[in-house]
Amino acid sequence: MDGTLSIRPFDEGDRGLVKALWIGCGLVVPYNDPDADIDLAAGRENSDVLVGCAADGSLVATAMVGHDGHRGWLYYVAVNPAHRDTGFGRIMVRAGEDWLRARGIRKAQLLVRETNTAVRAFYERIGWAESPRTVMERWL
Ligand SMILES: CC(C)(COP(=O)(O)OP(=O)(O)OC[C@H]1O[C@@H](n2cnc3c(N)ncnc32)[C@H](O)[C@@H]1OP(=O)(O)O)[C@@H](O)C(=O)NCCC(=O)NCCS
């Protein structure tokens, strides 16, 4: 398989494919509405949804990126199962890091669900480390 991946911002025509990818990757849970997440993040000054297209043009990967003026965050890092283990996940994370770096953000963070144990090794492999912090939350 050709290992090239071209990355661009989300376009409205991508919506169905992006949602299908997220569902197929197990990233959509009842308390998150993917349409609302796309609407809030895509094409904003402080956030965007990046999509990765394989050599044949098919949309095979995503990363949602954003910052709050202090820290940067990645969400919905996903690669179509048929295209895994070819470096696309690393490329998407690097694209998110670059997006944040270009906006002056010095630290990127992301949340890994405690059920998603396999993905921790991926992030460690590409240079991320577990953060010794407790995350607090409240639904608004
Ligand atoms: C996690 C995910 C994005 C990785 O995508 P990928 O394209 O397969 O990853 P890459 O090919 O870029 O892998 C980069 C490196 O990490 C390694 N790696 C990838 N997944 C791994 C895993 N589950 N465990 C250990 N190492 C892993 C690769 O072997 C590669 O190592 P190398 O440097 O020796 O070549 C993909 O598995 C996925 O979409 N998972 C489901 C969605 C998900 O859980 N997203 C994260 C939410 S926090």
Residues flanking ligand 1, CB < 6 Å: 25, 27, 77-79, 84-90, 110, 112, 116, 118-119, 121-122, 125-126
Domains of the chain: 5-125 (3.40.630.30)
DSSP secondary structure, 7-70, as one string: EEE--GGGHHHHHHHHHHTT---TT--HHHHHHHHTT-SSEEEEEEEETTS-EEEEEEEEE-SS
Cα 89 to middle of ligand 1, angstroms: 6
Cα 104 to middle of ligand 1, angstroms: 27
Which pLDDT score, from 0 to 100, does residue 105 have? 98
Index of the ligand 1 atom closest to the CA of residue 112: 48
Left if phi > 0, otherwise alpha if psi is -120 to 50, otherwise beta: which for 108? beta
Which pLDDT score, from 0 to 100, does residue 115 have? 87
Cα 140 to middle of ligand 1, angstroms: 32
The span from the CA of 50 to the CA of 43, in Å, is 9
The span from the CA of 137 to the CA of 115, in Å, is 18
Which pLDDT score, from 0 to 100, does residue 2 have? 57
85 contacts 3 by C-beta, under 8 angstroms:
no
pLDDT in tens, the chain (140 residues): 557 999 999 999 999 999 999 999 999 999 999 999 999 999 999 999 999 999 999 999 999 999 999 999 999 999 999 999 999 999 999 999 999 999 999 999 999 998 898 899 999 999 999 999 999 999 99
